A and B are shown apart, each in its own frame.
Chain A
Amino acid sequence: MARALRRRIVCQTLWLALAWPVALGAQPPHDVAVVVHPDVPVDGLTTADLRRLVLGDRGFWPGSLRVTLLLRAPVAHERDVVLKNICEMTEAQFRQHWIAKVFRADTAVAPKIVYSSEMAVDLVNRMAGAIAFIDAAQVGRGMRVVKIDGRMPGDKGYTLH
């Protein structure tokens, strides 16, 4: 009986050991929320609007408020989602796009790089006209999340994930 119990404990410990990393890897990818400064007079954007903002083709919000684009540094999940789902570009293509954009004198201001969700949250609340991409799980109360194509993070069909 003791041997049987020991075998069961060993089996269940092994199961636990195996299940732990599987459970970690099986986390569903989180949606990326589009967050704007409280003064930005926009409740929703289309994917095309968002693309124009991220690629610098649109530099102003309604009311002529200047857009300040906050983007996570390379490798961050939020940046990957934006580049892949919105810009349809690789990291190299995106960098080349912005170098060319500035070089063409289309804009004097490239996206500001933020190095953490906390920094993004802080800046988007402080800088007038700011827009940032934040893991939906990191969105705090009171933050201004805009709908994308009429959908909020977590809604079925939301594109930023």
Chain B
Amino acid sequence: MTDRSPTLFIVSVALVSLLCLGSAQPAVAQPAHPAPPDEQATREAQPEYPSLHLSGFADINFAAQNRNEGARGFSEGQFTLHLVSALSPRVAFFGELTFSPRSDAGTGSPPATGFNAEVERAIIRFDQSDQLKVSFGRYHTPINWWNTAFHHGQWLQTTISRPEMTQFGGRFIPVHFVGALAEGVFPSGGWNINYQAGVGNGRGNVISRAGDAGDNNDVPAFLLNVSTKPDRAFGLQVGGSVYADRITTAGRPDFNERIVAAHAVWQHEDPEIIAEIADVRHKQVGGSLSTSNLAYYVQAAYRLPASAHLWKPYYRFEHIDINTNDVVFAGVPSLDGSTIGVRFDISTYAAIKTEGRFRRRVENQPRTNGWFLQIAFTF
């Protein structure tokens, strides 16, 4: 026994060690000839052109307000279809269609349809390299960060509402732009300098719309947007833009428009901070009238940690100061507003948001208060 016990012990230790090694060994082995892959999966992964992909966004809303500023009760949001198709390794098409419910549906002659169909974006782009991509089409004007980050996908943005300075159908900045754009990014030692330079039609006869059917004057609109996304502060984006156009509207003199804007964004969710400011100047062509209008907003959100990570409370303050002498912005309201709410992600692709909005249009006048609920999703 005394002779056999150590032997038995050593054998058992060796056996266990061998088994332990054996369990790990297959994973660290270097196979010279990996197993043959699934041929069908391999074939499916090869690129095909054109490769049309369709995705969509939609939202259902509820609103309760003490004054009439927009819809009350339940309402359908925009039904958005997004199309993207690679036409070749370097050429791609992007399209965005929306269907918006009309409050005058069924009225008039012929009766108004229930939904407005709109081509929001239609862009064909040629990618030469990361430093140079050239595109043509209808864009969301890249002089405002929110305007190009979220587009019509309500699910993508944390809040229910967009800042009013970049509201769809709003007039403060030109939300859409028809023309050509060159863009790219230069690493620049880790600063990652992005640029977008464009020329196009600018605002149309109705200043909230782009000149889809052509420019309404002989002065094109120009824009330049430069921003940095430094490697050392992953998630940070800081940039600025300038925009110049001539505005021609019926019954008014022409005005030169100059917009200078800046943004700073921290895109992590803990916290998420977005701040933008824009100054819009109008100078009468051949006249002396010159006005300046300022708008800014600051939004902060924070995705709660651990088991509460589906919740994301947020707050936004926004301010719009419209010069009362500005002829182009006649009827555009000023604003001091706060939005406070919370987003709850019910799944990876759907969220419920609720927010309160407290808005004052004119100093010393009563506020418009409202409570809003939205279910937004992508499909």
Residues of A within 8 A of B123 (CB): 105
Cβ of B82: which chain A residues have Cβ within 8 Å of it?
Answer: 102-103
In the bound complex, CA of A3 to CA of B90 (Å): 79
Cβ of A99 within 8 Å of any chain B Cβ, yes or no, is yes
Cβ A115 vs Cβ B41 within 8 A = yes
Q: Which residue of A lies closest to B309 (CB)?
A: A90
Distance (whole angstroms) from the CB of A90 to the closest CB of chain B:
8
B32 contacts A140, C-beta separation under 8 Å: yes
By DSSP majority rule, is chain B's interface helix, strand, loop, or mixed? Answer: mixed
Q: Given the complex of chains A and B, what is the CA–CA distance between A123 and B41 in angstroms?
A: 10
Residue of B nearest to A121 (CB): B34
The CA of A105 and the CA of B229, in the complex, are separated in Å by: 18
Cβ < 8 Å to A, chain B residues 1-52: 1, 4-5, 8-9, 12, 15-16, 19-20, 23-24, 27-38, 41-42, 45-47, 51
Check A115 against B151 for contact (C-beta < 8 Å).
Answer: no
Q: Return the chain A residue nearest B82 by Cβ.
A: A103
At the interface, yes or no: B125 with Cβ under 8 Å from chain A?
yes
If A88-B234, A117-B34 touch, whether A57 touches B27 (CB-CB below 8 Å) is: no
In the assembled complex, the Cα of A19 lies from the Cα of B18 at a distance in Å of 11
Q: Is B214 at the interface (CB under 8 A from chain A)?
A: no
Residues of B within 8 A of A118 (CB): 34-38
- Chain A residue at minimum C-beta to C-beta distance from B93: A108
Whole-angstrom distance between the alpha carbons of A122 and B148 in the complex? 37
Task: Give the interface of A toward B (CB within 8 A).
Answer: 1, 4-5, 8-9, 12, 15-16, 19-20, 23-24, 27, 30, 46, 48, 51-52, 57-60, 64, 66, 68, 70, 88, 90-93, 95-96, 99-100, 102-105, 107-109, 112-119, 121-123, 126-127, 135, 137-141
Q: Which residues of B contact A (CB under 8 A)?
A: 1, 4-5, 8-9, 12, 15-16, 19-20, 23-24, 27-38, 41-42, 45-47, 51, 53, 55, 82, 84-86, 89-90, 92-94, 121, 123, 125, 127-130, 148-151, 153, 156, 185, 190, 192, 229, 231, 234, 268-269, 309, 345, 348, 378
Q: Would you mind naming 8 contact pairs between A and B with Cβ atoms under 8 Å apart?
A: A19-B16, A60-B130, A90-B309, A96-B156, A107-B92, A119-B41, A137-B29, A138-B31
